[in-house]
Chains A and B, each alone.
Chain A
Amino acid sequence: MLTNGGSSQNGVVYDVKGLNLWYGNDQALKDINLKIEENEVTAIIGPSGCGKSTFIKTLNRMVDNIPIVRTSGKIFYHGVNIFDKTVKLEELRTTVGMVFQKPNPFPKSIFENVVYGPKIHGIRNKKQLMEIAEESLKSAALWDEVKDRLHDNAYGLSGGQQQRLCIARSLAIQPDVLLMDEPTSALDPIATNRIEELIDELKNNYTIAIVTHSMQQAARISDKTAFFLMGELIEFSDTKKIFTTPEDKRTEDYITGRFG
């Protein structure tokens, strides 16, 4: 039901409608409406605490793990409201991969990290697992660097390599969407550049939503940009438009550095 092959209307992957979210009594997201389109990179920007991480974690219902969270509104993922009782969380998280700020590989070998998800999904065949590992690592632009040491511990990799490993791990379960929460904020400029190039390649096959605190990064890599402020979506449009002629004074003030 949630799969890629489903009846997605005109390349819209996510259609968020009137989304509100509270942590206890504090409202962190206020009436959010936006569409995320297929094979596009959507950047989410805004000052700390404006709700970027909360928003992105709602898209795969990771916020469900937080007991005090309450939501209202709808998020259609390929036409299906993810808050519907019939939606299976495992299924949603299989098609929507997530990459975090700090690379978080498991204390296992590089190979085991990549095939972790497929194994959980019941794939045991060694040859098949190796194929998945190779393909995922290649897609994450890491294969050439690790192909001779697949059974070494992942902690021996550099920060940038670990982050690409985490991307490979997400790709191994063949997702449809990749959510990334400040994936380069812990990386140096060279590693950052590699991840940005990777995102640019991945968008041919995946839909990507990325939270970033770097406006330059949003400008470089995204097609659409959403500007959040204190839980509200202030402006959402083509990245080109946002960074040259934003409509809203608050967007203008934020991206020209007057606050935030």
Chain B
Amino acid sequence: MVRDSFESSIKSLEEEVVKMIESVEELVIKSIDSLINKDVNLAREVIRLDDNVDKMQLEIEEKTIELIALQQPMAKHLRIIFSIAKIIIDLERVGDFCVNISKETIKIGKERHIKPLTDIPKMRDIVLGMLRNCKISFIKEDSSLAYRVGQEDELIDNLYKDVYTDVLMLIHEDSKNINQGTKLLFVGRYLERMADHITNICERIIYIADGDKVQIN
């Protein structure tokens, strides 16, 4: 009886993590959309929505502490609860990077883009794909999927290098490009960092599923 309610508490905790992942997905989509469309209002919305993600993190954290104190979880239960406590920190960071991107968007405002944004949407698509598969591997406790997701981090690294060289060239061409160029570099860097955090989450999922502590990449 008491155990049943413990197991259902874990279930609902997992559902909250899934919701948090979905909220972060929304932030990724909206932050890059607002950048591409120079939509300052949407960028402001991202900043507001991130407060919700922060709130979710605190609520989930509170519940993990409660479950540890009241149920003294062991084995799989312990791995799930402990890993969730770590996963939400990485998720929260991903949300923060979306906010950072939106702040750059607001600064760029209505300025003409110094280059067509081609690599940044590609990076976004990979980050989103990673997030979605990360969510699925979490729900299914599928460690091999989690492993594959983590490996996509490399694609992002390569795209970031492309953004970097592109922007560097533009800055060389015309020093007026320095201002926006550095902002676009930051955006690339933020996306690249998001992928790192998602990879951390994948490592946690593998620990939940198999009890193995792995370092992907």
Contacts and interface: CB of A to CB of B under 8 A. Distances in A.
Interface of A: 215-216, 219, 243-246, 251-252, 255-258
B193 interface: no
A258 B72 CA distance: 14
Shortest 5 CB-CB contacts between residues of A and residues of B: A245-B211, A257-B3, A255-B74, A243-B74, A252-B75
B101 to A, nearest CB: 38
A226 to B, nearest CB: 16
Contacts, number: 28
**Interface on chain A toward B: helix, strand, loop, or mixed SS?**
helix
B79 interface: yes
A246 B211 CA distance: 9
Contacts of A246: 75
Interface string B66-78: 0000001111111
Contacts of B74: 215, 219, 243-244, 255-256
A244 B78 contact: yes
B6 interface: yes
Contacts of B3: 257-258
A243 B72 contact: no
Contacts of B211: 244-245
Given A257-B3, A257-B6, A258-B3, A245 B75 contact: yes
A245 B74 CA distance: 9
B4 to A, nearest CB: 10
A256 B76 contact: yes
A252 B80 CA distance: 13
Interface in B74-92: 74-79
B212 to A, nearest CB: 8
23 contacts: A215-B74, A216-B72, A219-B74, A243-B75, A244-B74, A244-B75, A244-B79, A244-B211, A245-B75, A245-B211, A246-B75, A251-B75, A252-B75, A252-B76, A255-B74, A255-B75, A256-B73, A256-B74, A256-B75, A256-B76, A256-B77, A257-B6, A258-B3
